[in-house]
């Protein structure tokens, strides 16, 4: 299957359309939402497709490589078994600028004489609060610049925009900010390391909160206050509207979870009821009479 079919876009799709399709599919097949083996394979293919089609240069090479080509020439090509490096040296040795406008093809595929340098991978630690609100985080990278066999290094600080709802191990890409070799630039890949120091657990875009109640509170009513990631304090009470809270029951508050684009998760409160270890005879009798 082609990368275009994997992302569900036509070959004429714009960069924005490709990015939009990638975000939708990565959300749909995210492990926290869909943990089936098929979903894991699908998200792998989606990431692989976007890594190619999301890069303008890689996409051009992919289109050339997968377009129609004459295979008969390759089969009858008398130079097919020659060492390509030897050919380069024979033609271009001592002529530094002769090959600047030459494109070389092998097996119908474009070959970059200079070669694209490797990407820089950088881990960035953020809190779950920063994931909830979105953030701008400074990172410092060290890149090398290789020009005509002369190598230099430089250091640069970026402010990376962290989108709302970003998840652990998600990768953000800074185009053309990585290493450079003879004018060809690589990317910087930002790997998100999410630190959760809150009382909430995360499941996709949903926030999970465990509320512990005594048996008395579960039966007779309670009031509880939750400090939300938004900074607001949410009050939960059953005293004015008495209802028994069963162990393991849940209450869902929509749109109080994490946000990703136009999609909002929920806040799910899970109740745990703590029973007393023992009851004396007098209280047992009273409880029996009441129930």
The model's pLDDT over 29-50, given as tens digits with 9 standing for 90+, comes to: 877 777 787 888 888 888 888 8
- Total of domains in the chain: 3
* Same structural domain, 209 and 275: yes
Instruction: Give CA–CA dist 50/2, Å, rounded.
Output: 11
Is 291 inside any structural domain?
no
Q: Which helix (H) or strand (E) holds 46?
A: helix 37-53
Instruction: Assess if residue 250 is contained within a domain.
Output: yes
pLDDT at 105: 52
Cα–Cα distance, 139 to 159 (Å, whole number) = 6
Residue 177 lies in a domain: yes
Of 36-40, 52-56, 127-131, 253-257, minimum mean pLDDT range: 36-40
One domain for residues 66 and 135: no
For the whole prediction, is pTM greater than 0.75? no
User: What are the structure tokens assigned to 80, written together?
Assistant: 């097919």
* Helices 37-53 + 56-65 axis angle, to 10: 100
The mean pLDDT value for 121-142 works out to: 95
Q: How confident is the model at residue 70 (pLDDT cuts 50, 70, 90)?
A: very low
195-217: average pLDDT: 94
Give φ, ψ of 94 to 5 degrees. 85, 0
Of 111, 146, 166, the last residue of a domain is 111
Spatial CB neighbours of 230, under 8 Å, sequence gap ≥ 6? 132, 133
Which of 79, 95, 111 is a domain's end point? Answer: 111
Report if residue 75 sits inside a domain.
yes
Q: Is 70 exceeded by the pLDDT of residue 168?
A: yes
| pLDDT > 50? residue 91 | no
Looking at the domain assignment, is residue 224 inside a domain?
Answer: yes
Check residue 189 and give its pLDDT: 96
The most confident of 82-86, 87-91, 243-247, by mean pLDDT = 243-247
């Amino acid at each position: 299957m082609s990368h275009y079919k994997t992302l569900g876009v036509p070959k004429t799709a714009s960069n924005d359309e490709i990015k939009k399709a990638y975000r939708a599919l990565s959300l749909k097949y995210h492990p926290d939402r869909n943990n089936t083996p098929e979903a894991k394979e699908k998200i792998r293919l989606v990431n692989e497709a976007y890594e190619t089609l999301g890069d303008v240069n890689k996409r051009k090479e992919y289109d050339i490589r997968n377009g129609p080509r004459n295979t008969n020439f390759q089969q009858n090509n008398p130079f097919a078994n020659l060492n390509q490096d030897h050919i380069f040296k024979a033609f271009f040795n001592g002529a530094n600028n002769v090959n600047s406008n030459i494109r070389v093809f092998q097996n119908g595929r474009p070959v970059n004489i200079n070669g694209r340098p490797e990407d820089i991978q950088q881990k960035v630690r953020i809190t779950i609060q920063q994931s909830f609100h979105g953030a701008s985080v400074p990172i410092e990278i060290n890149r090398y610049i290789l020009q005509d066999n002369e190598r230099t290094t430089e250091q640069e600080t970026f402010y990376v925009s962290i989108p709302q709802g970003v998840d652990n191990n998600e990768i953000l890409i800074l185009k053309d900010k990585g290493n450079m070799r003879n004018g060809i630039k690589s990317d910087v890949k930002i790997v998100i390391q999410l630190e959760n120091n809150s009382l909430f657990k995360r499941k996709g875009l949903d926030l999970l909160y465990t509320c512990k109640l005594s048996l008395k509170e579960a039966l007779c009513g309670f009031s509880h206050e939750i400090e939300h990631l938004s900074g607001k304090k949410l009050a939960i009470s059953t005293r004015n509207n008495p209802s028994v809270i069963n162990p393991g029951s849940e209450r869902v508050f929509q749109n109080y979870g994490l946000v990703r684009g136009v999609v909002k998760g929920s806040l799910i409160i899970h109740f745990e009821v703590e029973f007393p270890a023992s009851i004396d005879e007098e209280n047992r009798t009273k409880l029996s009479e009441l129930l």
